[in-house]
Structure 1
């Protein structure tokens, strides 16, 4: 492969991963409403999913999937159902946050009464509570794998740039470059989303953020389902 081909591949790859979509949305949600650790683990999960797509593309599997209409539609339907589940979960979390009793600062006495001993109502969970490490990773992984449009993207990416007769070390270099650039970008998204000033703004409007994210996931799920059917 020539240097121009590597540059073209990286350019198309960067354009593909930078474009706003489910991957970026779920990373920003977990890092801003949760924690930086949750965001980074979600980013690692997203990139692990991309690693799977890259491996399948380099071995020619995505080409076979793209030619099998039934298999491709099944993947699209499964992806739409998962995105729909994320959408419904986000909307439920947003509605629960809006209807939950407001937390009372410690030591404050509402309406002149005695000072309460608790900061928040018993059992109340803040909408921005960080998911556990395993859940954060799995959310990123499954969100990425549920994007059936990735099949078309990777088929086009490798068919137009990577020559069929590429040597093994050239293929390995492509793999390393894409994984390194992708991991750097998604980790940067997680870091940006967890910057305290931005994260504090998101948390102040946690219910609205959850509702907006849930609605967007539902729109993406509907679009994918319509495309499949």
Structure 2
């Protein structure tokens, strides 16, 4: 490969990963609502997915998938259904969080979302994921705080779906799995990588150049997504978004549903 080909490949790769999509929204959501450590593991999961796509592209597998209508259909539908499930779970969490706010208010209404989430934090989260400690007040039977806790328990119950899909009780392992599956579920990556590698990477590329391309793209992608995770988990910023948990979850859910709908529309149009 020539220097011009490397430059073009790197430029198109950067343009592709900086555009907001499921990966970035997932990283930001976990950075806002969880911890920096979990956001970093989300990034690692996303990059495991990208590593897989890049490796498959260098091996020519993505071209085979793109050229096989049945296999491509299976990948697109499976990815769309998973992203739709992610979207549904996020929106449902947003709705239940709003119900928490209402239940936590003494008069049943909440005028200020930040104030409401502060009340909920006193009840349900004595220690902030970003390091601040909040004293846990006593809860009398039948109080608004108790009602808020009941709604919170419902939001993490059986009806909310698998816990690994959301930021509740997020662990590094769950964050890693979220990143991997979300990245691999976006079947539009097939089209992106086929176009990217088909036009710039020779089919008979030597193994050492293939490793160079792989290392270059992974390093740049890792640096970008880690920057997003670091900025999103800055305590001053994360605390503000934690006060808007319902809105963050709802927006994330809408993004996932839109991407899923786009994949399904593409399936119907090309069928």
Cα distance in 2 for residues equivalent to 1:65 and 1:78: 14
Is residue 128–residue 203 contact of structure 1 (8 Å, CA) maintained in 2? no
Q: Secondary structure at the match of 2:34?
A: coil
Deviation of the 1:93 alpha carbon? 0.6
Cα distance in 2 for residues equivalent to 1:132 and 1:116: 26
Partner of 1:94: 94
Q: Secondary structure at the match of 1:83?
A: helix
Partner of 2:220: 181
Q: How many residues align?
A: 221
Normalized against structure 2, the TM-score is what? Answer: 0.77
Q: 176-185 vs 115-124, which deviates more?
A: 115-124
Q: CA 1:171–1:128 in 2, change beyond 3 Å: closer, same or farther?
A: closer
Encode CA deviations 1:113-158: one digit per residue, 9 max, x unaligned. xx95149544636996451111111111000000101011111111
CA RMSD of aligned residues (A): 2.1
Cα distance in 2 for residues equivalent to 1:144 and 1:169: 26
Cα distance in 2 for residues equivalent to 1:128 and 1:74: 28
Correspondence 1:117 to 2:138: yes
Cα distance in 2 for residues equivalent to 1:203 and 1:143: 22
Partner of 1:133: 172
Task: Identify which of 232, 245, 251 aligns with 1:206.
Answer: 245
Q: CA 1:197–1:168 in 2, change beyond 3 Å: closer, same or farther?
A: same
Partner of 1:172: 211
Q: Unpaired runs of 5+ in structure 1?
A: 107-114
Encode CA deviations 1:156-201: one digit per residue, 9 max, x unaligned. 1111111223222111100110111111111111111101121111
Partner of 1:33: 33
Correspondence 1:153 to 2:192: yes
Q: Unpaired runs of 5+ in structure 2?
A: 105-118, 124-135, 156-165
Task: Identify which of 187, 193, 197 aligns with 2:232.
Answer: 193
Partner of 1:68: 68
Partner of 2:9: 9
Q: CA 1:5–1:197 in 2, change beyond 3 Å: closer, same or farther?
A: same
Normalized against structure 1, the TM-score is what? Answer: 0.90
Is residue 35–residue 130 contact of structure 1 (8 Å, CA) maintained in 2? no
